[in-house]
Structure 1
Amino acid sequence: MAFDTTAKSFRNSLVLCFASFQGPGPFPGVVDISEVGAGLPEYRASLLAGKGFAVMALAYYNYEDLPKSIEILHLEYFEEAVNYLLNRPEVKGPGLGLLGISKGGDLCLSMASFLKGITAATIINGCVANIGGVLQYKDETLPPLSINRNRIKVSEDGLVDIVDVLNCPLEGPDQKSFIPVERAECTFLFLVGLDDHNWKSEFYANEASNRLQAHGKEKPQIVFYPGAGHCIEPPYFPMCRASMHSLLGSPVIWGGEPRAHAVAQVDAWNQLRTFFHKHLGDKE
């Protein structure tokens, strides 16, 4: 199923948050993309808007008239979002920031790799390979990284641990799923929970760094958080240890130790704000 990129569909799938009380603008622009199953949450966008950014929270499936699955995603839809935000009078340009968590992280990596107009990207526990469904852009296609369900583990309390389910994107046919991050012209920040039980975020961040440097690109900033799980939210959000996985259809463990995870959320929020202010302009 393909995305409908008509004006009606696109306008229904975004929330714009502008920091009007910070002054007349224009402001540094950021596109915020959430995890699978999230619909169109706007809390990150709203909080960032209060810190001097013009933020677009963008849905990509299972919202309003968008498709109900991620079987096929078209990057042209995200390209339209980038161009739309850049053309807003409230946005200073010349480039945008991207903020993605989980599946939103690999989408942001793909946007940075294929699209123009991206200056800085923050990836929170993202994968360096395309996940979940086919990604298409013009005449290029990234297949999804394959999985092995035999590696699913179940805890004593019936929760599913899927950290080992995805295959390695460095081996065999799965190399075709590796996002060509070496094409990106932006600066990257990776925020990584070392107790992530959704997938191997530490490995993915390091492999993105290796690929970038092997092609003569700048080494990305990577911040590791011992004891932090997959769902690194803004400060003081309660830690989500486990919940229903919208694609798997089972309750899964996300990882994280409460105290360490809470500390990570505070620091990660400061890190990404500082990163965007540095690379997109304007100081708090």
Structure 2
Amino acid sequence: MSIELNVKQHGFSGFYFPVDSSIEKKAVIVLGGSDGTVAVPKNIGALLSDRGIPALGVCFWNRPGLPQKLVRVPVEYIESAVKWLQNKGFEKIAIYGISKGAELALLAASLIPDITCVIALSPSHCVYAGLGINDKGKKDLFNVSSFTWRGNPLPFVRGKKQIGGILWRFITQQQLNTCFIYKKALKSTTDDAVIKVENIKGPILLFSASEDATWPSQYSCEQIKKRLQTKKFAYPVKHVNYPHASHVLIPIANPHTLSKLRIYKVERKHPVQCNQSRSDAFEKSMEWLTSWGPAYSH
């Protein structure tokens, strides 16, 4: 059973999944990706709650009171969620996100010191251009930042949707592949668009897939680790990479949703490994959250 929260009353939109008792007083904020639905916040929030960890699934776009496109989304929604959890007595707050939600999880934790643990699945190491439905009813990249902080758009990596390239790869690879768009965009990345992960005040767990056809998550995770090593990051960092997995590294029980993943070649070629990667990533996330405690305090 969840409690629904809204922007007008609470300063953010989401679903709270309590547990009967939380001795350690820690909770997890859950973020979905660019699908703009409540599926990830609700489903992962429920799974965490079932395993004894209070969860707050937060929606950051495409809900009442929120931006209707994934553009200029205020990171303050996450700040409001953190304060809401603190007001309920939680002393330790983690954040868990997939895809654009992983990008936001890393970004929010770099700006909000009260977030002291991050789990980022298929993340980006920088802020990308915003996404949304264009005038033709198709998902598109916009020449604006995905996120803002204190009223200012954050520096971002500019990208451009390339229909011809997507169609060519759909024909030749028989899959939806947008990774090349982001790889090309990254060639013009400036340091101000890179997320300052070294400012995060706790351990970071990263997951990626070598065959991620959405964007180069493995490269991003490697860049995050490299940056943290250079900056002499004081907390534990772990990167788990799956050689035969897709962009979607979260548990999925719905057969209809699973069938949609067949649009990715690796999901058709290695279905067992793909499902195992989702299960393994969740179990490793649970282990990370369980061990996150006094031993990680600095």
Asked if TM exceeds 0.5, the reply is yes
Question: Quick one: distance in 1 between partners of 2:185 and 2:125?
Answer: 8
SS in 1 for 2:225: helix
**Cα distance per residue 1:31-74 (max 9 Å; x no partner):** 00001123223010011011111100000111122221122111
- Give 1:188's aligned residue: 204
Structure 1 portions without partners, runs of 5+: 244-250
**Cα distance per residue 1:176-207 (max 9 Å; x no partner):** 32111122122100011222110111000000
1:155 and 2:170 matched: yes
> Would the alpha carbon gap of residues 174 and 226 (structure 1) be closer, same or farther in structure 2, given more than 3 Å must change?
same
**Larger helix proportion, structure 1 or 2?**
2
**Number of equivalences:** 265
Structure 2 portions without partners, runs of 5+: 1-5, 131-144
> Would the alpha carbon gap of residues 266 and 6 (structure 1) be closer, same or farther in structure 2, given more than 3 Å must change?
closer
- Give 1:248's aligned residue: none
Question: Quick one: distance in 1 between partners of 2:254 and 2:266?
Answer: 15
Question: Quick one: distance in 2 between partners of 1:254 and 1:49?
Answer: 33
Q: Tell me the percent identity.
A: 19
After superposition, the CA RMSD in angstroms is: 2.8
User: Aligned to 2:119, which of 118, 122, 136?
Assistant: 122
Kindly state the Cα deviation for residue 6 of structure 1 after the two structures are TM-superposed. 5.5
User: Aligned to 2:148, which of 129, 136, 139?
Assistant: 136
Deviates more, 1:61-70 or 1:145-154: 145-154
Q: Counterpart of 2:16 in structure 1: which amino acid? A: L
- Give 1:246's aligned residue: none
Question: Quick one: distance in 1 between partners of 2:37 and 2:242?
Answer: 27
List, as ranges, runs of 4+ consecutive aligned residues in structure 1 with deviation greater than 6 Å. Answer: none
Is the CA contact (8 Å cut-off) linking 1:209 and 1:220 kept in structure 2? yes
1:230 and 2:227 matched: no
Q: Counterpart of 1:162 in structure 2: which amino acid? A: T
1:263 and 2:276 matched: yes
User: Aligned to 2:27, which of 8, 25, 29?
Assistant: 29
Q: Counterpart of 1:275 in structure 2: which amino acid? A: W
TM-score (norm 2): 0.79
- Give 1:101's aligned residue: 98
Kindly state the Cα deviation for residue 100 of structure 1 after the two structures are TM-superposed. 0.2
Is the CA contact (8 Å cut-off) linking 2:76 and 2:149 kept in structure 1? yes
Higher normalized contact order (CA 8 Å, seq sep 6+, divided by chain length): 1
SS in 1 for 2:69: coil
